[in-house]
Amino acid sequence: MTKSIVISGPPAVGKTTVAKGLAEEFSLQYLSGGDVLKEMAKEQGFDSSGDDWWDTEDGMKFLNQREENSAFDKKLDEKLAKLFNEGGMVITSYTLPWLIQDGIKIWLEGSHESSTKRMQSRDDMSSDEAYQITKQRFDKNKALYKKLYDFDFGDDKSVFDVIINTDHLTAQQVIDVAKETVRKLL
């Protein structure tokens, strides 16, 4: 069985790009924890289509709903942990690294300014808007996971095999560092 890999980090740090690159390189299946959560939002009547849905008013409304009802996150995390433990996956997830014991865990580190620039160019929005959205998403998720699981998202990185600072690297350079790390750990 091939180990699974989990990629975590703050919003708009490059998790999806790196995860897809690793999945392709090592012939693993890619799964976005955020996409699974968006499917759950759809079941609740939200129109969660589009890559930038999390940054919309509806996306933030769903985040607020999750703060009041942890059932969404618990159900998601149980599903992701089961898939992760089956092996052969690359999963992006905010919480999974703290909830699983095996596999390879990678944290992508990046400044808030860097995430703002990524979101601004990716989602075609103003710098101020991107800054506010990334900050709000990070702060709300951090509080949610502290309440739900009592870990310090963004501060406690002790569970990770490697931390990659993305600030001064291109997407390809981050992927290359991640590939080299995975080769060593596999």
What is the residue-wise DSSP string for 42-68? HHTT----STTGGGSHHHHHHHHHHHH
Checking if the pLDDT of 1 tops 70, the result is: no
* Maximum distance among all Cα pairs of the chain, rounded to whole angstroms: 46
CB atoms within 10 A of CB 34: 20
Number of domains the chain is built from:
1
pLDDT-derived band of residue 185, with 50, 70 and 90 as boundaries?
confident
Residue 175, domain extent: 5-185
pLDDT-derived band of residue 134, with 50, 70 and 90 as boundaries?
confident
Angle at 130 between CA 54 and CA 48, to 5 degrees: 15
Element (H, E) at 164: strand 162-165
Checking if the pLDDT of 37 tops 90, the result is: no
Q: What is the pLDDT of residues 98-112, one digit of tens each?
A: 999 989 999 999 987
Least confident of 37-41, 154-158, 181-185: 37-41
Compute the radius of gyration of the chain from its Cα atoms.
16
Nearest CA among 1, 52, 9, 59 for reference residue 28? 1
pLDDT-derived band of residue 53, with 50, 70 and 90 as boundaries?
confident
pLDDT above 90 as % of the chain:
49
Q: What confidence score (pLDDT) does residue 107 get?
A: 97
pTM: 0.87
Q: What confidence score (pLDDT) does residue 64 get?
A: 77
Q: How many residues does the chain have?
A: 186
156-173 average pLDDT score: 94
CA dihedral 4→33→83→31, nearest 10 degrees, is: -60
Pairing of strands 162-165, 5-8: unpaired
Element (H, E) at 89: strand 89-92
Let me know: does 164 contact 178? Beta carbons within 8 Å. Answer: yes
Q: What is the pLDDT of residues 70-100, one digit of tens each?
A: 887 888 899 899 999 999 999 999 999 999 9
Checking if the pLDDT of 25 tops 90, the result is: yes
pLDDT-derived band of residue 119, with 50, 70 and 90 as boundaries?
confident
Residue 136's domain is classified under what CATH number? 3.40.50.300
Q: What confidence score (pLDDT) does residue 88 get?
A: 94
Checking if the pLDDT of 159 tops 90, the result is: yes
Angle at 35 between CA 107 and CA 153, to 5 degrees: 30
3-state SS class at 107: strand
Look up residue 129 and give its two tokens: 């808007």
Nearest CA among 13, 12, 18, 173 for reference residue 109? 13
